[in-house]
């Protein structure tokens, strides 16, 4: 048991055996600040401080404050301590988040000195922020003249958050969610867009920002959360010394009230913009949303999760079956599911790719399914499978995206925010046991469906319909607002706008004294990379690689084979074959029965392919097919049986199912463009350099999306589907015949039993013809991809060298060096983009510049070149090289989950990136010098050799064509 610091008292504690942690909740005597500590035998320590933030409009005040608070504090009065600390740290995670009712500042590090440094900076930033008006102008919004200094030119809005939200709200899914929220929550803070609506952001004044900070950023309104092997009392000593002792209790309680309930369901219609040449057919979204119970009632919350699983978990679930198979739309809505991130739970279902006149019929069909469930219940096996999925989610040790400790913290944060049982949200085993008893009553799910949904009058039906003139009207309205503002300006006010722009530019160009910030250095880098070792054995005549790892009662297993020789057309179809493989029928079972089978025994089952160049030859390409599954220990043998059936008994005769899957894939890919535009632009810019880069663009990139659209258009009539499934069948025969090997990950004492259970998969196979690396004609690219986006994503790419080349390490360091020293300032701070930078991909042998949610295009592309001129100018310091090295090593050493570490080690070695190879690359990174950066830039990054790609919307088309880019339509 951890002893509390004298300034704190222990409120409660609990051991959670299923997670292997001890959770302790403390209260600060003076201010009432809450501290939740998750004690774990884990050296990756995590810190988060959250403030309850409840905006009363959509001006983005909480979001802009999150940005501005990180722009300088009392102890660290530099312009950009957050981004400066990213460069002076070995962190495994650093960020800040604005949610709908909280703002959080988290970081993680495996290095204690680094953790202490970051904690000092974060505490000062949150509780003693300077909030300089110029930082508000940069991060939030400001007025500038389109031609700097020319008061006769047009006024324009600028600001990082303003442009970020223009990009975020280009996503139809975001528009759908925020629009639904306005009607589901008519009176509480969730009625508003906490990130900020672009039309409302300019309404926020600097004084309103300051007032919000003073009322919300106070220890009495704060939740401190920590995870790892540092005792709670040590954290509390720092909290008290650095911040808490300076505050008196806050005289008000900030929170969210329960929403006022509707007495009858409502129906509303809103619109979203589409570009004029897209057409309006099959573009309407129809969703139904219900407001359920309080998220802090754990039993009610888990019951709602279980009901959601029963209704929507997979294609065999009654409501999901309707949404996937109805001819009223093309696919289920991306909002389908249960949202538990706010004070009250929201259940949503619906479709996309529909027409407005079909809303009545969809609502009727949805209610009919719910009525059937409430009247007749569902088979016990389906309910048990849904509960099984909840248990898996509780048990699995994750951490391949966010650090594991941060995921636990965010799970508990919802309860803490609303002053509920935060520990209970982590320890759901007791309620799972209660549910396990309750579902034995065949009326349990039936009665729950009736109570939570059918008898619940707080229901909203939303139609979100396309409007090809809306974007133009919004632009015209913004221009009219700006013209009206300009017409009212006095000469003095115009001069003030010019002076603010000049002052901000001067501030952005000022070199701050970074030495006042704490740092780690190259000397703090551990001498060796963490090593994960597997054991090679045999499964029949085939290779089995086993890793022992603390997986908390889960088994992970994969069947791997080298990709056989495929035609070009088959390569294009590979992603869709892989997706369909685990979504269709097997043997005498149709796809609905298989979905139920999967849900009852597996945590996940999916297939994919991956490709990498050789470590010393970019023109040689290796590719593998992987069938990957995970299950609880008791289900490992049934998982193996399921995997065997997937390989040996897959059915290609369910033609309507293949159409559904392709339509769903197309919908998800289209929705992902504006959220992932920078990666798609980089893939397009890189595609001309080698076959690996081209195939990345032609499968997962924009070219792949265009080809998928064409593929879907060709499915009209059974002939198209029959031809497609015949091609899938041909691919499958080749893969099923290829020699196999296996990967197995689990707790050490279970591995022998797991291995024995895997034996059926090791059947004799016929050796298939191996894929051959084909010749590729390298060429430069200059492309302009038009998407439904209000902002730009710009990329430039250069051909470089593979991983083991001596220049690969300095190229890796160069990316961070250019971002830190030049690109961050020019593209984000001065240009107003949400982000920008550069990186080297040694798997493809390509160096890439990029910008993200960017209001500019030509200027950003010019800034990419200007960063190289800055490098050549000789105005850099050796410590800037050290900062870039820390960033590369931090990324290389970043831990993932125990199973994730084993998978990474295995698949890296599969492509020749053994631990020894990666460690040698890491060693070279630590030895990079400034002259190395200049040498590789001179050698590889000649602007005349660059390839360029830009993703933009209709508003950027003319500017892109003026740059000589070739227009490419999706």
pLDDT tens column, 118-138: 999 999 999 999 999 999 999
Q: Which residues partner with 607 through β-bridges?
A: 627
Count Cα neighbours of 170 within 13 Å in the Cβ-side half-sphere.
28
pLDDT in tens, 169-228: 888 899 999 999 999 999 999 999 999 999 999 999 999 999 999 999 999 999 999 999
On whether the CB atoms of residues 204 and 61 are closer than 8 A, the answer is yes
What is the average per-residue pLDDT within 259-287?
A: 91
Does residue 512 or residue 574 have the better pLDDT? Answer: 574
How many Cβ atoms are within 10 Å of 319's Cβ, its own excluded? 22
What is the CATH topology of the domain spanning 266-467? Cytochrome Bc1 Complex; Chain A, domain 1 (3.30.830)
Spatial separation of the C-alpha atoms in residues 64 and 965, rounded to whole Å = 35
What is the average per-residue pLDDT within 629-634?
A: 94
Q: Return the CATH superfamily for domain 8-170+188-251+488-505.
A: Metalloenzyme, LuxS/M16 peptidase-like (3.30.830.10)
Sign of CA dihedral 367, 368, 369, 375: positive
**266-467 shares its CATH topology with 780-969:** yes
* Whether pLDDT at 875 is above 90: no
On whether the CB atoms of residues 762 and 539 are closer than 8 A, the answer is yes
Return mean pLDDT, the chain: 93
* Whether pLDDT at 768 is above 60: no
When the candidates are 3.30.70.20, 3.30.830.10, 3.90.1150.140, 3.30.70.1150, the CATH number that belongs to 780-969 is 3.30.830.10
Question: Which of 157-166, 281-290, 758-767 has the lowest average pLDDT?
Answer: 758-767
Range with the largest mean pLDDT of 364-368, 417-421, 485-489, 891-895: 364-368
pLDDT in tens, 32-55: 999 999 999 999 999 999 999 999
* Whether pLDDT at 275 is above 80: no
pLDDT in tens, 301-312: 999 999 999 999
pLDDT at 164: 87
Spatial separation of the C-alpha atoms in residues 923 and 919, rounded to whole Å = 6
Helix-strand-coil split of the chain, %, nearest 5 = 50, 20, 30
Cα separations in angstroms, 596 against 245, 254, 383, 704, 962: 56, 45, 10, 31, 55
Mutual angle of helices 318-325 and 655-671, in 10-degree steps: 90
Give the pLDDT band (50/70/90) at residue 776: confident
How many Cβ atoms are within 10 Å of 710's Cβ, its own excluded? 9
* Whether pLDDT at 765 is above 70: no
Query: Encoding tokens for residue 196?
Result: 């900020």
Nearest to 551 by CA among 739, 338, 745: 745
Spatial separation of the C-alpha atoms in residues 441 and 551, rounded to whole Å = 33
Q: What are the residue ranges spanned by the domains of the chain?
A: 8-170+188-251+488-505, 266-467, 535-563+585-651+738-763, 652-733, 780-969
List Cβ neighbours of 931 (8 Å cut-off, separation of 6 or more). Answer: none
How many Cβ atoms are within 10 Å of 113's Cβ, its own excluded? 15
Task: Tell me the whole-structure pTM to 2 decimals.
Answer: 0.91
What is the average per-residue pLDDT within 908-932?
A: 95
List Cβ neighbours of 571 (8 Å cut-off, separation of 6 or more). Answer: 695, 698, 699
Could you identify the residue written with the tokens 């993680």? 108
Give the pLDDT band (50/70/90) at residue 601: very high
Size of the chain, expressed as the number of residues it contains: 970
pLDDT at 762: 84
Spatial separation of the C-alpha atoms in residues 867 and 249, rounded to whole Å = 49
Q: What architecture does CATH give domain 535-563+585-651+738-763?
A: 2-Layer Sandwich (3.30)
């Amino acid at each position: 048991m951890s002893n509390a610091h004298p300034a704190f008292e222990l409120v409660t504690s609990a051991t959670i055996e299923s997670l292997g942690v001890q959770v302790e909740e403390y209260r600060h005597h003076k201010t009432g600040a809450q501290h939740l500590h998750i004690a774990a035998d884990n050296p990756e320590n995590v810190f988060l401080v959250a403030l309850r933030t409840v905006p009363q409009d959509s001006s983005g005040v909480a979001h802009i404050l999150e940005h501005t608070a990180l722009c300088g504090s009392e102890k660290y009065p530099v312009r950009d301590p957050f981004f400066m600390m990213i460069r002076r740290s070995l962190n495994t995670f650093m960020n800040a988040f604005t949610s709908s009712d909280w703002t959080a500042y988290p970081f993680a590090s495996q290095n204690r000195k680094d953790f202490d440094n970051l904690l000092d900076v974060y505490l000062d930033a949150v509780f003693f922020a300077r909030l300089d008006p110029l930082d508000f102008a940069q991060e939030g919004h400001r007025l500038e003249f389109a031609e700097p200094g020319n008061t006769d030119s047009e006024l324009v809005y600028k600001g990082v958050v303003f442009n970020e939200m223009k990009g975020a709200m280009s996503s139809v899914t975001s528009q759908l969610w925020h629009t639904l929220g306005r009607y589901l929550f008519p009176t509480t803070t969730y009625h508003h867009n906490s990130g900020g609506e672009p039309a409302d952001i300019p309404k926020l004044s600097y004084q309103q920002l300051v007032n919000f900070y003073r009322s919300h950023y106070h220890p009495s309104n704060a939740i401190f959360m920590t995870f790892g092997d540092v005792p709670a009392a040590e954290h509390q000593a720092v909290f008290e010394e650095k911040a808490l002792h300076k505050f008196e209790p806050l005289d008000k309680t900030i929170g969210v009230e329960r929403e006022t309930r509707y007495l009858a369901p409502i129906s509303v219609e809103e619109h979203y913009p589409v570009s004029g040449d897209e057409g309006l057919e099959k573009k309407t979204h129809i969703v139904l949303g219900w407001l359920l119970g309080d998220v802090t009632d754990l039993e009610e919350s888990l019951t709602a999760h279980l009901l959601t699983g029963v209704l929507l978990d997979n294609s065999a679930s009654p409501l999901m079956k309707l949404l996937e198979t109805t001819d009223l739309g093309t696919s289920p809505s991306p909002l389908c599911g249960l949202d538990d991130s706010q004070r009250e739970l929201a259940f949503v279902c619906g479709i996309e790719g529909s027409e407005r006149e079909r809303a009545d019929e969809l609502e009727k069909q949805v209610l009919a399914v719910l009525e059937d469930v409430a009247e007749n219940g569902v088979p016990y096996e389906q309910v048990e499978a849904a509960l099984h999925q909840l248990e898996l989610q509780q048990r699995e040790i994750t951490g391949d995206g966010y650090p594991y400790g941060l995921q636990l913290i965010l799970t508990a944060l919802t309860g803490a925010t609303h002053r509920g049982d935060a520990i209970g949200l982590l320890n759901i085993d007791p309620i799972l046991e209660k549910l396990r008893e309750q579902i034995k009553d065949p009326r349990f799910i039936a009665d729950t469906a009736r109570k939570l949904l059918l008898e619940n009058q707080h229901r909203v039906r939303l139609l979100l319909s396309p409007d090809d003139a809306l974007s133009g009207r919004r632009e015209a309205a913004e221009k009219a607002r700006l013209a009206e503002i300009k017409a009212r300006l006095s000469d003095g006010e115009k001069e003030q706008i010019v002076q603010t722009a000049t002052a901000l530019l001067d501030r952005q160009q000022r070199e701050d004294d970074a030495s006042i910030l704490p740092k780690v250095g190259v000397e703090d880098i551990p001498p060796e990379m963490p090593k994960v070792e597997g054991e090679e054995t045999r499964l029949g005549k085939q290779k089995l690689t086993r890793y022992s790892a603390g997986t908390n009662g889960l088994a992970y297993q994969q069947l791997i084979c080298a990709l056989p020789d495929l035609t070009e057309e088959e390569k294009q179809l590979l992603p869709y074959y892989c997706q369909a493989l685990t979504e269709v029928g097997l043997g005498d079972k149709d796809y609905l029965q298989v979905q139920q089978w999967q849900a009852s025994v597996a945590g996940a089952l999916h297939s994919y392919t991956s490709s990498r160049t050789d470590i010393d030859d970019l023109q040689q390409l290796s590719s593998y097919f992987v069938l990957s599954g995970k299950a609880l220990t008791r289900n490992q043998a049934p998982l193996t049986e399921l995997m065997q059936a997937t390989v040996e008994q897959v059915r290609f005769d369910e033609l309507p199912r293949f159409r559904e899957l392709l339509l769903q894939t197309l919908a998800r890919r289209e929705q992902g463009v504006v959220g992932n535009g920078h990666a798609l632009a980089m893939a397009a810019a890189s595609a001309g350099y080698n076959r690996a880069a081209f195939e990345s663009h032609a499968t997962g990139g924009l070219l792949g999306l265009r080809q998928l659209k064409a593929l879907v258009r060709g499915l009209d009539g059974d002939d198209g589907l029959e031809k497609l499934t015949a091609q899938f069948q041909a691919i499958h025969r080749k893969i099923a015949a290829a020699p196999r090997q296996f990967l197995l990950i689990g707790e050490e004492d279970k591995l022998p039993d797991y291995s024995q259970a895997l034996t059926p998969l090791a059947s004799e196979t016929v050796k298939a013809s191996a894929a051959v690396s084909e010749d590729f004609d390298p060429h430069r690219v200059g492309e302009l991809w038009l998407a439904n986006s209000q902002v730009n994503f710009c990329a430039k790419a250069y051909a470089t060298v593979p991983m083991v080349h001596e220049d690969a390490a300095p190229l890796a360091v160069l990316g961070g060096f250019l971002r830190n020293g030049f690109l961050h300032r020019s593209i984000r701070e001065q240009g107003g983009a949400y982000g920008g930078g550069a990186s080297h991909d040694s798997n493809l042998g390509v160096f890439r510049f990029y910008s993200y949610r960017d209001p500019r295009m030509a200027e950003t592309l010019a800034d990419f070149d200007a960063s190289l001129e800055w490098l050549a100018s000789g105005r850099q310091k050796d410590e800037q090289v050290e900062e870039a090295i820390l960033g590369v090593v931090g990324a290389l050493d970043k831990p993932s989950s125990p199973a994730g570490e084993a998978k990474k080690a295995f698949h890296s070695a599969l492509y020749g990136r053994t631990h020894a190879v990666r460690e040698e690359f890491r060693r070279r990174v630590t030895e990079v010098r400034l002259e190395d950066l200049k040498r590789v830039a001179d050698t590889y990054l000649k602007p005349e050799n660059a390839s360029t790609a830009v993703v933009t919307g209709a508003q950027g088309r003319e500017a892109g064509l003026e740059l000589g880019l070739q227009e490419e339509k999706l």
